[in-house]
Chain A
Amino acid sequence: MAKSILAVDDSASIRQMVSYTLKSAGYDVTEAVDGEDALAKAKAKTMDLVLTDQNMPKMDGLTLVRSLRRLPGYRTAPILILTTESGDAMKSQGRSAGATGWLVKPFDPQRLLEVVKKVIG
Chain B
Amino acid sequence: MTIDMSQFYEVFFEESAELLGEMERLLLELDVGAPSKDDLNAIFRTAHSIKGGAGTFGFTEITETTHILESLLDKLRTDKLKLRSEMVDVFLKAVDVLKMQLAGRQYQSEVDARAVTDICKRLNDLAEAKPDAASAPVKPAPVQAAPPTQAPIAAAPVAAATPMTAGAAANGAALVDPNPENLYAILIGTASTASSVAASNEGYGFFTDTPAEGQGAAEAAVAPVPAAGTIKTLAELPPEALPKRRASDRESETTSIRVGVEKVDQLINLVGELVITQAMLAQAASRVDHVLFESLLAGVGQLERNTRDLQESVMSIRMMPISFVFSRFPRVVRDLAGKLNKQVELKTVGEGTELDKGLIEKIADPLNHLVRNSLDHAIEAPEIRVAAGKDPTGTITLRAFHQGGNIMVEVADDGAGLNRDKILAKARERGMNVNDAMSDQEVWALIFEPGFSTAAVVTDVSGRGVGMDVVRRNVRNMGGRVEIQSQLGKGTCISIRLPLTLAILDGMSVAVGKEIFIVPLTYIIESMQPAKADIKAISGQGKVVHVRGEYLPVVALHERFGIKPNVGDDEMERGILVILEAEGIKTALFVDELVGQHQVVIKSLETNYRKAQGISGATIMGDGKVALILDVAALVRPSKHDVLQAA
Contact = CB atoms under 8 A, between A and B. Distances in A.
Contacts of B640: none
Given A101-B205, A102-B205, A17 B231 contact: no
B56 interface: yes
Contacts of A97: 235, 238
A56 to B, nearest CB: 8
A119 B253 contact: no
A67 B9 CA distance: 33
A116 B236 CA distance: 24
Interface stretch (B241-249, B380-388, B479-487): B241-249
B53 A118 contact: no
Interface residues of B, number: 69
Contacts, number: 197
Contacts of A109: 1-3, 5
B228 interface: yes
B140 A11 contact: no
Contact of B228 (A49, A66, A108): A49
B145 A106 contact: yes
A58 B189 CA distance: 30
B56 A16 contact: no
B490 to A, nearest CB: 43
Given A106-B145, A107-B56, A17 B5 contact: yes
Contacts of B523: none
Given A33-B254, A86-B185, A99 B233 contact: yes
B238 A76 contact: no
A67 B242 contact: yes
Contacts of A49: 228
A87 to B, nearest CB: 5
Contact of B207 (A40, A87, A100, A121): A100
Contacts of A53: 52
Nearest to A109: B3
B211 A108 contact: no
B53 A13 contact: yes
Interface in B126-145: 139-140, 142-145
Interface residues of A, number: 69
B627 to A, nearest CB: 46
A89 B211 CA distance: 14
A13 B12 contact: yes
B331 interface: no
Interface in B14-55: 14-15, 42, 45, 48-49, 51-53, 55
B293 interface: no
25 contacts: A17-B3, A36-B243, A36-B250, A39-B242, A39-B243, A53-B52, A66-B238, A70-B242, A76-B232, A76-B234, A78-B231, A84-B51, A86-B142, A86-B171, A86-B203, A95-B211, A99-B235, A101-B204, A101-B206, A107-B203, A108-B147, A108-B148, A109-B2, A113-B1, A115-B204
Interface of A: 3, 10-14, 16-17, 20-21, 24-25, 31-34, 36-37, 39-40, 48-49, 53, 55-57, 59, 63, 66-67, 69-70, 76-80, 84-89, 91-92, 94-111, 113, 115, 118-121
Interface of B: 1-3, 5, 7-9, 11-12, 14-15, 42, 45, 48-49, 51-53, 55-57, 139-140, 142-145, 147-148, 167, 171, 184-185, 187, 189-191, 194, 202-207, 209-211, 224-225, 227-229, 231-238, 240, 242-243, 245, 247, 249-250, 253-254
Given A95-B191, A109-B5, 8 more contacts: A17-B8, A36-B249, A57-B45, A67-B242, A78-B225, A84-B55, A91-B190, A105-B142
